[in-house]
Every structure is written in C-alpha cells, then in structure tokens.
C-alpha cells in the first residue's frame, strides 16, 4: 500500500477517536481490491463535508476509498467491540470489515470516515472482511433514504466496486461503502470492556463520548446528583426512544437489532436485512434468518429498551447507584410512547393534543393490519385526501382514494368518521401540510433496491442515482416518477433478505 501525495482538497483531519490508541483501536490497512471503479457518488454529502466535485477525480481518491491506498492525512484503524446477538452474549465481534480512515473537521462539525468491506481486520474472526455489491447498494441507498426522511442515521458517501469474487450463498463481486457519521460508537464498544472487567476502559470510553458528543451534559448533572454517567445513559435512552418512534412511524424494520448495531448517538446503524413495510403487518419479520421474530416490526421498541438495559449494565461500574441507573433507564417506558404519539399526530395532521389521539392511531393501524393495506401508500393518500378535502361535497367522496385501498369498507369508514370529526377542529391546510411533510411518497422498498442492484450487476449504475435523488427528498411529489411510489410488484414478496452481506 502506498501513501498518495495528493491532498484531499481542503480536508482537515482530527482523529480524536484514533488517538485513544490500543486497546480501543488498532492501526490497520485495507487489503487491496483489483480494478476498482466508481459505483455511486453522493454529491450532496460531499458538499456537507466541505469538499467540491473535483474530489472524485483527485488522484488516489478512488483507490483510497476502496481501501487500496492511504491518502495524506488519513490514519486507518479498526476498533474493537462485542455485543449481544439475538439476545445472547456473543463476545468479541468487530470491526470485522470496517476500516476507519479517520475523522475530518469542517467548522465545528467532525465526521468519522469508515470503509465497509475493505478486507480482513484483526477482528474478522471467520469472515472475509468483504462486502458485496448487492448489500453495499442497499446500505448506501437506505442510509440516504433515512436521512431524507429526517431519521438520524450514519450517512453514505460513495460506493466503489471491483470484479473480485466474494463468496456468499453464490459468488458475487466486492464493493466498498464509505460511511460517514459523527461517531460510530456502539453499545457494544462499552459492553466489550465491561465484559472484560475493565471499568477503567469503560470510563475512558464514556469520558471520551461525553467530552466530544455530549458536552452539554456537564451542565445538567444536578438532576443526577453529579453522576455524569447516569446523565449519559439517560441521554442515550432519550435518543433511542426517539429513534424507535421514528422507525415505527415510517414502517422501517431494521432486522438485526443486536447491541453491536446500536449507536450511542441514536443513529440508525448497520444496514443489513432491513425493510420498509409494504402491506402493514405488526408482526412482520424482515430478516429471513430471524426465525423467532425477535426483531419483528412490533418488537423493535421493546428490543430498543432491552439493548439499553445491556448498555446500562456495561456502565454499571461507573454509575454505581442503582436508583440513578433506573432513573436513567425507566423513563423509556413513557418517552417512547410519547415520541410515537407525536409521530402519529404528525402523520394524522393534528397540530394539537387531544384525549383519544392515541386510540385514533391504534385504530387506524388495526384497519391497515386486517387487510395488509400498503403502509406508505395509505398514509400518503390520506394526506392527499386532507389536502383536497374541501373540493368534495361529502366526506366519503373526499376519502375515496383511501377507501379504494380496502375490500371491507365498514371498519375504515367508521374510523374515517371519527377522524373527520377530529379534523373538524383543525385548519385543514395546515393539517395537510404537516401530513405531506411526514408521510413520505417514496421509501426504499425492497423491490426498488433490487431493481437497482440487478442493473448495477450489469454495469448500469444509473438507477442508484435515480433512487438517491428521489429518496433524498421523499416528501416531494417528483412528478414523472410515480412508478417509484407504486404498490410493490407481485415478485417483491419473494425477495428473501438474510444477514448474508
């Protein structure tokens, strides 16, 4: 591996996490891939990082973002973490295929850069350290789709590809995604050192996180009898509750909510067998390897809490006082439902809070569930109906687009009656605006990702760009692209998404 002489435009590297050194991070290098090429480039994220378009063509950049080369300023390394997988302690896990390039700074913002699939690391265990083109496209598009939806997530800057073979269920080709986030710290990073009985290392990590990502906490410790670690845990509880509510509200299923896939910043992290719901089913399981349905759509909020409990255990040696640990954790039981109520109110276009709103949301989901009505289409049509409500002479005419989605009209008509009554106290235009900003027209359905993947396998990457464009602003109408907002085709239900990536 060579060090290129070219500068990466105006990037300033800071490397705060890397400076922790061993045993948190190990200096490492990628294993080169042959004949690398660009698959996808995210122009708007590039801009956010303070770089201009000339970046992509800068000498050494393609190679560096494939793990083949180190550019001036980068300090590649990998980190160690453990975790609970499917409810069972799994011991040491990663980074099995993530190579951190370092942290860049623009203004006050710091961004970690990480390659996924750049080859084996000291933590690869039996794995090959690679990622395939298929899963890399899914991760790239979904990171950006979540960002477009306003849901906290790690970002994806680009994908590079190589003809090198990677064996999964069949032989596929290699790809590398460059992921970007303020931090990739996981619950599992803390669990790792706690499980080794190294509370001094847990403390070092927690102090690092608090200093760099939770600096405001230092002024808020009075409520925690000066115990900053309880305050830290509570902050993660809050952001996780918010994240779970946002996932549920757009019908996002993560699929592998192991504690090593949970971000302490409350970001959506590690896109594997995820899925946006098509027909609504509370018990939907998107991961075909999840036979018990541990990570079903309905279970996600509970699993979020279970995972927070694991983090609390890891921090126990620092918090030390049981009542404070519980005071940090237990509010999840109200924070999550309150956050979900807020999301559902927005979906329903309600600008005030009234008794009965939670029931209204529960009841409509029951109607959807009974007939497996398409989740995204239902909410978008409901929003459009509210927008055009006053153009119709009777309420039932106004709701026709929604009614068309149901075979048995009676339950939904009854619900629409109650909803119409509830809306009567609202300004309809304000309600419609709120709804159109919270009920996306475009989500990354499995079949859309699959179409982009199939084309990419033939060397045609255009569909990835089209999807990125739509998913970056999923609440906009994007006239001419209605096909992408349509019902899934019948073959979509036969797509099987496992952990294999």
The catalytic residue positions are 260
Using the CB atoms, write b or e for 360-371: b if 16+ within 10 Å.
bbebbbebbbee
Partners of 109 in the beta sheet?
A: 106
154 touching Mg ion, by CB under 5 A: no
What is Dmax (Cα atoms) for the chain?
72
CB of 269 to ligand AMP, least distance (A): 9
CB of 287 to Mg ion, least distance (A): 13
Query: What, of ligand AMP, Mg ion, none, does residue 124 touch, CB below 5 to 8 Å by kind?
Result: ligand AMP
C-alpha distances in Å from residue 269, one per residue of 58, 151, 415: 29, 11, 36
488 touching ligand AMP, by CB under 6 A: no
CB of 264 to ligand AMP, least distance (A): 16
Q: CB of 317 within 8 A of CB of 194?
A: yes
Q: Which stretch binds Mg ion (CB under 5 A): 216-224, 268-276, 286-294, 295-303?
A: 268-276
C-alpha distances in Å from residue 152, one per residue of 148, 242, 351: 10, 9, 23
Residues in contact with 84: Cβ distance below 8 Å, sequence separation at least 6, in sequence order: 90, 191, 258, 259, 260, 307, 310
DSSP 295-359: T-TTTHHHHHHHHHHHHHHHHHHHH--HHHHHHHHTTHHHHHHHHHHHHHHHHHT--S--TTHHH
| Separation of alpha carbons 471 and 461, rounded Å | 16
Partners of 222 in the beta sheet?
A: none
Residue 466, both tokens: 């089209």
463 touching ligand AMP, by CB under 6 A: no
Nearer of residues 36 and 257 to Mg ion, judged by Cβ = 257
Angle in degrees, CA 80, 85, 88, rounded to 5? 110
270 touching Mg ion, by CB under 5 A: yes
- Binding residues for ligand AMP restricted to 431-460, rule: CB under 6 A: none
- Binding residues for ligand AMP restricted to 215-274, rule: CB under 6 A: 256, 260-261, 270, 272
Nearer of residues 15 and 254 to Mg ion, judged by Cβ = 254
Query: What, of Mg ion, ligand AMP, none, does residue 93 touch, CB below 5 to 8 Å by kind?
Result: ligand AMP
301 touching ligand AMP, by CB under 6 A: no
- Binding residues for ligand AMP restricted to 124-143, rule: CB under 6 A: 124, 127-130
CB of 272 to ligand AMP, least distance (A): 5
Residue matched to tokens 């694991």: 310
CB of 263 to ligand AMP, least distance (A): 12
Residue 307, both tokens: 């995972």
374 touching ligand AMP, by CB under 6 A: no
Q: Which stretch binds Mg ion (CB under 5 A): 19-27, 269-277, 392-400, 434-442?
A: 269-277
Residue 321, both tokens: 């006082």
Residue 501, both tokens: 């990536």
- Of the candidates 40, 71, 95, 432, which one interacts with ligand AMP according to CB under 6 A? 95
155 touching ligand AMP, by CB under 6 A: no
Residues forming the site for Mg ion (CB under 5 A): 261, 270
Residues forming the site for ligand AMP (CB under 6 A): 93-97, 124, 127-130, 256, 260-261, 270, 272, 499
């Amino acid at each position: 591996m060579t060090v290129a002489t070219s500068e990466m435009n105006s990037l300033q590297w800071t490397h705060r996490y890397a400076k922790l050194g061993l045993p948190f991070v190990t200096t490492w290098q990628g294993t080169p891939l042959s004949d690398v090429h660009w698959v996808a480039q995210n122009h708007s994220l590039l801009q956010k990082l303070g770089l201009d378009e000339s970046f992509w063509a800068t000498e050494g950049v393609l190679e560096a973002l494939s793990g083949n080369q180190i550019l001036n300023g980068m300090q590649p390394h990998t980190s160690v973490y453990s975790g609970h997988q499917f409810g069972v302690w799994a011991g040491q896990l990663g980074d099995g295929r993530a190579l951190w390039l370092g942290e860049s700074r623009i203004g006050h913002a710091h961004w970690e850069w990480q390659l996924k699939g750049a080859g084996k690391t000291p933590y690869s265990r039996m794995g090959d350290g690679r990622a395939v083109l298929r899963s890399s496209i899914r991760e790239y598009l979904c990171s950006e789709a979540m960002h477009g939806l306003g849901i906290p997530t790690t970002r994806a800057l680009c994908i590079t590809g190589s003809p090198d073979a990677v064996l999964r269920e069949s032989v596929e080709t290699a790809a590398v995604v460059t992921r970007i986030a303020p931090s990739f710290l996981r619950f599992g990073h803390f669990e790792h050192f706690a499980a080794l009985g190294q509370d001094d290392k847990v403390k070092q990590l927690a102090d690092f996180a608090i200093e760099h990502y939770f600096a405001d906490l230092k002024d808020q410790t009075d409520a925690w009898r000066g115990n900053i670690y309880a305050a830290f845990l509570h902050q993660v509880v809050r952001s996780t509750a918010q994240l779970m509510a946002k996932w549920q509200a757009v019908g996002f299923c993560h699929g592998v909510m192991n504690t090593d896939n949970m971000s302490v910043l409350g970001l959506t992290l590690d896109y594997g067998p995820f899925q946006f719901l098509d027909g609504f089913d509370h018990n939907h399981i998107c991961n075909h390897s999840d036979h018990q349905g541990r990570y079903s759509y309905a279970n996600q909020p509970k699993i979020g809490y279970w995972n927070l409990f694991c983090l609390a255990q890891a921090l126990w040696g620092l918090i030390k006082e049981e009542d404070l640990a519980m005071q940090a954790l237990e509010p999840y039981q109200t924070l999550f439902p309150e956050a979900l109520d807020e999301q559902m109110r927005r979906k329903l276009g309600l600008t005030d809070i009234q008794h009965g709103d939670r029931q209204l949301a529960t009841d409509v989901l029951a109607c959807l569930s009974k007939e497996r009505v398409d989740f995204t289409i239902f909410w978008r049509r409901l929003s459009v109906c509210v927008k055009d409500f006053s153009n119709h002479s009777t309420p039932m005419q106004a709701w026709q687009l929604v009614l068309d989605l149901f075979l048995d009209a009676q339950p939904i008509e009854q619900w629409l009656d109650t909803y119409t009554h509830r809306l009567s106290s609202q300004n309809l235009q304000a309600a419609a605006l709120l709804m159109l900003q919270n009920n996306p027209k475009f989500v990354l359905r499995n079949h859309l990702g699959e179409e982009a993947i199939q084309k990419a396998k033939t060397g045609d990457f255009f569909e990835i760009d089209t999807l990125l464009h739509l998913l970056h602003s999923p609440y906009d109408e994007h006239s001419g692209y209605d096909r992408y907002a349509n019902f899934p085709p019948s073959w979509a239900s036969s797509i099987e998404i496992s952990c294999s990536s």
